[in-house]
Amino acid sequence: MAFTLAEIAARFGGRTVGEPGILIRQVGTLARAGEGEIAFLANPRYRPQLASTRASAVIVGPDAESLTALPRIVCDQPYVYFARVAQLLNPAAVARGGVHAQASVAPDAQVDDSARIDAGAIVEAGAIIGRACWIGAGSVIGGGVVLGEGCRIHASVVIYAGCRVGARAIIHSGAVIGADGFGFARDGERWIKIPQIGRVVIGDDVEIGAGTTIDRGAIDDTVIEDGVKLDNQIQIGHNCHVGAHTAMAGFSGLAGSVRLGRRCTLGAGAMVLGHLSVCDDTQISADTVVSRSIERPGTYTGMFPFSDHRAWGRNTAVVRHLAELVERVRRLERQLQEKETKHG
């Protein structure tokens, strides 16, 4: 597929500067783009690359318009604009309806004629597969699962019985939706398993990365609202509720019964401990462990920066004795205050 710069601007807005008839076939980075490709500048640190790029055109903000003579589209959000152009030039594959001869579909499962079921996939009893869904090779759609229209379930995904997935969801390989949550009751030296009878309910336009696991609810459902984006290898515990349009980076996780608000972001490796709530519009930095509920929106950081091993060891030793140091300071302040009072 190819579009002129003018055609792209007509679709997505923005202002063209330079030759509007330049033909664009693909997107690329400033460092590696070549003829027929369009790059973008969103981060000021990459401005030096703008002068040397071999891209045929670039997407820039108003503050960078004068930094290049290349044909360009000027817009307020270059990165968002680039994402739309990338989608235009790289449209998602469309399922061609049909059930592969080596797939297994239960007789009472409802599979829309436009849906595609690849080799080795299993669709169990009572499942409902919506229009234009695509079930990849080796995936398992459990009994009674409902998939909304246009879902793309990649190879080797497992969706356990009873779960619900909204329209246009994308679930990448190795994801497991609806496994049992970590529910056990201590009985002396033994653990008694608590049956996990809730479901996972996923909204529309959700994307779930490879190797991510979302546990079913113990009693109530685990809920992922519309537009949530989950990276690879994320753990969502049982009975969690993730608000609409929240995004979580790789290796982050939620312990059981967390309520995470709308439009939140979690950096890589961030964790929220069980039974806590995080309000809407909260940003949690990478590697931060949230150990109490957050009631005010903002950015929260709790990571301990790395340094060379010897310095890290010394700093850690100080942190271990921090409570003692605080108590000593308080005691000295009291003594000083008493002395000042005594001597008037």
Question: What does the alpha-carbon distance between residue 24 and residue 6 come to, in Å, rounded to a whole number?
Answer: 10
Question: What does the alpha-carbon distance between residue 235 and residue 211 come to, in Å, rounded to a whole number?
Answer: 9
Instruction: Decide: 161 and 124 in contact? Cβ < 8 Å.
Output: yes
Instruction: Decide: 160 and 177 in contact? Cβ < 8 Å.
Output: yes
Question: What does the alpha-carbon distance between residue 46 and residue 74 come to, in Å, rounded to a whole number?
Answer: 17
User: H-helix or E-strand containing 224?
Assistant: strand 222-224
Could you confirm whether 238 is annotated as catalytic? Answer: yes
Report phi then psi at 273, rounded to 5.
-75, 165
CA 219 to chain centre: 26
Q: Is 277 buried (19+), middle (13-18) or exposed (0-12) by CB count in 10 A?
A: middle
Q: Checking phi first, is residue 331 left (phi over 0); if not, alpha (psi -120 to 50) or beta?
A: alpha
- Amino acid at residue number 31: A
Kindly name the residue from 154, 172, 238, 245 that is annotated as catalytic.
238
109 token code pair: 């499962």
User: H-helix or E-strand containing 110?
Assistant: strand 110-111
Active site residues: 238
